A = this chain, B = another copy of it.
């Protein structure tokens, strides 16, 4: 018995697979390996195979699946994945803006509720928020019609030294990392420059126009994404 509380024919599990494929396939829409999915979802590869077979023989098919060569989303699968992603990010924004959640708390709750809110509630929340474009971590919220333009972000670890950057988003996967990032003042919208120097274990980062710099471990830096800072653009 799949959870009674499903809105349409989609199960919670299938939704999670679709979201995972969307995330892991990257902007290039690469095929995603069973193993990668298994690790991401915290289940066994054998289980993934079974579900990919099911998803690929659903009508309409949600993934294209080639034995031993991974899966990618079909148009229908991508549509559903973006739908759930929109729910997730709208919920995060709503919990943060209207219900006093910290940005480190919203992910867990949204992860659960994203599967169970109706289109009506989605619309009411979006209206209440004024159709926001970004979630509290700076991630783009897919539009209602399925439009979704992933930004051209670069991981801070791969950003050239000395080039002015703007923090565009931060991973929301780990709550304590989020608190650490916040403590350092590295919210989305913040201007940063990576100072020249060794980049082995940590980066030397200057925030905004400040004189002092901070040391940022690889672990945290890996969760921060930036875009080029043009002279016009400024911190939000």
Query: What residues make up the interface of A, taking CB atoms closer than 8 Å to B?
Result: 1, 3-5, 12-13, 16, 95, 98-101, 105, 108-109, 112-113, 115-118, 120-121, 124-125, 127-128
Contact = CB atoms under 8 A, between A and B. Distances in A.
Contacts of A120: 105, 109
Q: Which 8 A-B pairs have the closest CB atoms?
A: A3-B3, A99-B124, A5-B112, A112-B116, A116-B116, A109-B121, A3-B12, A113-B116
A187 to B, nearest CB: 22
Given A109-B121, A113-B117, A120-B105, A98 B128 contact: yes
Contact of A121 (B16, B99, B115, B121): B99
How would you classify the secondary structure of chain A's contact residues: helix, strand, loop or mixed?
Answer: helix
Q: Which of A100, A116, A121 has the most CB of B within 10 A?
A: A116
Contacts of A99: 121, 124-125, 128
Contacts of A127: 100
A117 B95 CA distance: 12
Nearest to A124: B99
Contacts of A100: 124, 127
A116 to B, nearest CB: 5
Contacts of A101: 124
A117 B98 CA distance: 16
Contacts of A108: 118
Nearest to A105: B120
Nearest to A7: B112
Contacts of A13: 1, 4
Nearest to A118: B109
A16 B5 CA distance: 11
Contacts of A95: 121, 124
A16 B3 CA distance: 12
A100 B127 CA distance: 10
Q: Which of A5, A117, A118 has the most CB of B within 10 A?
A: A5
A118 B109 CA distance: 7
A121 B16 CA distance: 22
A108 B117 CA distance: 11
Contacts of A116: 5, 112-113, 116
A4 to B, nearest CB: 6
